[in-house]
Amino acid sequence: MLNGIYAASSGMQNDLVRLEILSNNTANMDTPGFKKAIAVTKSFTNGQNQSIQNSPNQEKAGAYVNEIKTDFTDGAQVFTGSDLNMSINNDGFFTIQTPNGLAYTRNGSFSVNSEGYLVTQNGYYVMGENGTINVGTAEKLVVNEKGYVFGDGKQIDSLVVTDFPKPYQMTRAGASMFYPQDSNQAFQVSYPRVSQGYLESSNITHASVMVEMVNMINVQRSFEANQKVVTIIDQAMGKTVNEIAKV
């Protein structure tokens, strides 16, 4: 009976993680630069999952989310016409200064803050070759394919577009930002093919949202089934204890 409870409860935990990932994917269908997260589930028995405390005399089995991968497939290029919207038609990420250090994103929905700096929607600074990019009071902002930034016809700076040998090792932070691991060596993309007036859409399309929703329903059913198993076994164990107590 304990094996059954263990397997069902680990299944419930696994389902909750998967449900959270699927829900987040669906919620970010309209977030520029969002990249789909994928849960990788693994089955285990004793000794295969060190994070779970196993009884030395009890063989246990179950499943857990072993890894959360990121699908870095490009989203569609969507024309907005805004001078402050930019997309990258190549590998690489916009480089952003955050309170926690440099972060990287494909979300090129920028704005200019009260001090004239180019920033993300969260207020983080967009990085250029000379540091943070200050466009001042320029009335006309132009960004060419190489990422050069011009204000009223004069070059101000150039965007730093960064890529990584193993982007899949990056850690997700929020909807569309990523932090590299220590061993991940960044390098600058020399010709990023920046498109001004465009945004890269989420790689969660309307069609894939339907798939995600079907998966959510299946995961919810799995959770409910595992929950029912736990309830049935718990009731059976309670009945057994009561019968033993009568002896």
Q: pLDDT digit string (tens) for 122-165?
A: 999 999 999 999 999 999 999 999 999 999 999 999 999 999 99
**Which residues make Cβ contacts (< 8 Å) with residue 177, sequence separation at least 6?**
96, 98, 103, 104, 105, 107
67 against 11, higher pLDDT: 67
Q: 108: closest CA among 87, 126, 89, 129? A: 87
Q: State the Cα–Cα distance between residues 240 and 247, nearest whole angstrom.
A: 11
CA distance 109 to 244: 67
> Is the Cβ–Cβ distance between 77 and 89 less than 8 Å?
yes
Res 145: pLDDT: 98
* Helix %, strand %, coil % of the chain (to 5): 30, 30, 40
| Rounded CA separation 194/177 (Å) | 18
Q: Lowest mean pLDDT: which of 6-20, 122-136, 167-181?
A: 6-20
pTM: 0.79
Residue 3 has what pLDDT?
Answer: 56
Token pair in block for residue 160: 């730093």
Between 5 and 20, whose confidence is greater? Answer: 20
Mean pLDDT across the chain: 86
Residue 47 scores a pLDDT above 60: no
Beta-ladder partners of 198: 79
More confident position, 29 or 59: 29
Residue-level pLDDT at 50: 46
Per-residue model confidence (pLDDT) at position 213: 81
According to the model, what pLDDT value does residue 227 have?
A: 76
Q: What's the pLDDT tens digit per position in 182-236?
A: 767 899 999 999 999 999 999 999 888 888 888 888 888 877 787 776 677 666 6
* More confident of the two residues 179 and 57: 179
Which pLDDT score is estimated for 16? 87
For residue 214, what are the contacts with CB-CB under 8 A and spacing of at least 6? none
